[in-house]
A and B are shown apart, each in its own frame.
Chain A
Amino acid sequence: MALQSLDITRRSASPTASPQARKTIEIAKLIDVSTCIGCKACQVACSEWNDIREEVGHNIGVYDNPTDLSADAWTVMRFAEEESNGKLEWLIRKDGCMHCADPGCLKACPSPGAIIQYSNGIVDFHQENCIGCGYCISGCPFNVPRISKKDNKAYKCTLCSDRVSVGQEPACVKTCPTGAIQFGSKEDMKDVAATRVADLKTRGYTNAGLYDPQGVGGTHVMYVLHHADKPEQYSGLPKDPAISTTVQLWKGWLKPLATIGIAAAGLFGFFHYITVGPNRPDDDDEHAAANPAAKQEDKA
């Protein structure tokens, strides 16, 4: 933890800067949707490595199980059946935290050090500081964090920050049998993605592309999509994700306005009292109240 603490870029609810001397390499996980076979080995690996067990659910008619992210399921495969140009496409996406460069969860979090962003790009929750307010859920443009019913604290994918910090790849990457999930420096992953996109284009996927949305400053989990023009097809992956305007107004604009408003009320009172002075009824003048315009003596 000692050296790791030097690699923190940002910390929730902390107005002053984190240590900036060291700069580590920016990493990324690349998920190639076009080579994913939907085996869910990544879900199992995540569950095993992190020692979290979601309850065994019920079959709801599609392959999705668990059907949603939870405090005990940090990644889930989402299976979408899309019909276009007269053919059925089975679009499978491994959903989970995108590790945004500009994380909405961190912006919204009110508790110092409950959410931290490492200089390698990983956004991590430190549950010991989490107060369970759920602001991170409101801040996230991807609907990822979940509050645990057991302890009312927020959980999500850590990008296996513990493994990465000792030079290993995340558990899901290690276990993926088709190589659809890769891990490395963000630059390298962009190169890999470019090769994959070029290949997909030769195979007729003219809109193939890399999903690294700039509205959140880019992400440290990226997708290769065969239909990068329609990310919504992949179980609602947002087209242009950004921190919501409502959250920006709340966490950005309102703070200085509220400060000015509250300070103005306090300062007005102070200066009014030391200039105008107290307002006392004048006991001697019986007519003071009857004559509203009567000049009032301020002397005690």
Chain B
Amino acid sequence: MKEQLIQRYSAAERINHWIVAVCFILLALSGLAFFYPAFFWLTGVFGTPQLARIIHPFVGVIMFVAFARQFFRYWHHNLINSEDIRWMKSVKTVLSGHEVGDTGKYNGGQKGMFWLMCACMAVLLVSGFIAWRPYFAGYFPIPVIRLALLAHAWAATGLIAGIIVHVYAAFWVKGTIRAMVEGVVTHAWAKKHHPRWYREMTGKQK
């Protein structure tokens, strides 16, 4: 039997996602280099340490703009409802491989991750501008820059840990990566993981 597929992400959505992803990897590596002396060599992703310091904030702006486009694409799919609360409370069951609740396009975990990413991105943008030399930092008092540097490091840590979970979840739930590479998922995938979304997309009751 030929496998039945549902379009989950359009080409534009996929390109958008991968722009954010590539920016994130470059930023995380160079950011970790600035944070951990032992990883300073990771500044090499941008050629030299000086170049990494210069380029990192510009890539950050690209990531934020691309992520903002994603925010406007997806925020209304990520409003948390009672089903999602149930999902979050039953996360242990979910992790053992069982589905919980009548999940729509996104489950409680994905929605939580979405809002975590939004919060981190906002903090990173604001604190990043405050600490950005030589263009903006000069306009802020030193105690404010100190707070910005602390907040930037915290938010980056949160985002990196969150993205590790995000990537792992995509790797763990087989058929998910295909959604962001080819844009499609199988009926079986949709039925199992996102039953309500599956019914919406196919018009089927089961």
Contacts and interface: CB of A to CB of B under 8 A. Distances in A.
A132 B186 contact: no
Interface stretch (B7-15, B16-24, B92-100, B117-125): B92-100
Majority secondary structure, B binding face: helix
Contact of B154 (A133, A135, A254, A269): A254
A289 B192 contact: yes
A268 to B, nearest CB: 8
Interface stretch (A178-186, A215-223, A231-239, A244-252): A244-252
Contacts of A265: 160-162, 164-165, 168
Majority secondary structure, A binding face: loop
Contacts of A273: 168, 171-172
The number of chain B residues touching the other chain, given as a range, is 35 or more
Interface string B16-58: 0000000000000000011111101001000001101110000
Interface stretch (B61-69, B74-82, B138-146): B138-146
A292 B157 contact: no
A14 interface: yes
A290 B206 contact: yes
Contacts, number: 155
Contact of A281 (B100, B171, B193): B193
B73 interface: no
A288 B192 contact: yes
B206 A15 contact: no
Interface string A2-33: 00000000000111000000000000000000
Nearest to B37: A13
Nearest to B161: A265
The number of chain A residues touching the other chain, given as a range, is 35 or more
B133 interface: yes
A39 B191 CA distance: 84
B97 A138 contact: no
A165 interface: no
B195 interface: yes
A87 B131 CA distance: 43
Interface stretch (A40-48, A53-61, A256-264): A256-264
Interface of B: 33-38, 40, 43, 49-50, 52-54, 95-102, 131, 133-134, 137, 142-143, 145-147, 149-150, 153-154, 157-158, 160-162, 164-165, 168, 171-175, 186, 188-193, 195, 198, 206
Given A110-B34, A129-B49, A278-B172, 6 more contacts: A132-B54, A134-B137, A264-B161, A281-B192, A295-B98, A296-B98
